[in-house]
Amino acid sequence: MPLQDLYHDVVRDALRQDGWRITHTALQLKARAESSAGELWEGPWLVAEKDERKVAVAVNSFVGRSSPADITQTWRQLGLSRPQLHAMDSDRVVYLAVRQATYSACFGGTEGDLLLEKEHMQLIVFDPRAEVIVQWVRRF
């Protein structure tokens, strides 16, 4: 099983604090035979529900030097996982959880907004020190 991200447990706890019921803490999807290495998201998923909403959350700390291109690549990997997630539950929305510092550095300003819009990204922005969700960013 691939290793959890550095902030996996922080995001799990932040979701709980925000009123989400965690149904899976380390859901692992199986790679399809036709997929090449590095093409799919390999980390474990957090799966949660709140009221009628259902989410699947991938956590990536992007520690070190990260760019919007790194996040875009990760988002594309997550996108390739969507069919498997939707086969399990078609109402589940995929989110990528990123630190507040990563969000500010990579998505601040007009260029970041355009990237979010173009890639149809849904993000959960969290504060790792306070272990809370700061913002839900949903772009369509």
- Among the listed residues 61, 32, 56, 62, the one whose alpha carbon sits nearest the alpha carbon of residue 44: 56
Overall average pLDDT of the 27-44 stretch: 64
pLDDT of residue 22: 96
In the predicted structure, residue 1 carries a pLDDT above the cut 60:
no
Q: What is the pLDDT of residue 78?
A: 84
Question: pTM of the predicted model, to two decimals?
Answer: 0.85
Q: Which among 8, 9, 11 is positioned nearest to 126, based on CA atoms?
A: 11
Phi/psi at 67 (5° precision): -130, 165
Nearest Cα neighbor of 60 from 17, 94, 32, 92 is 94
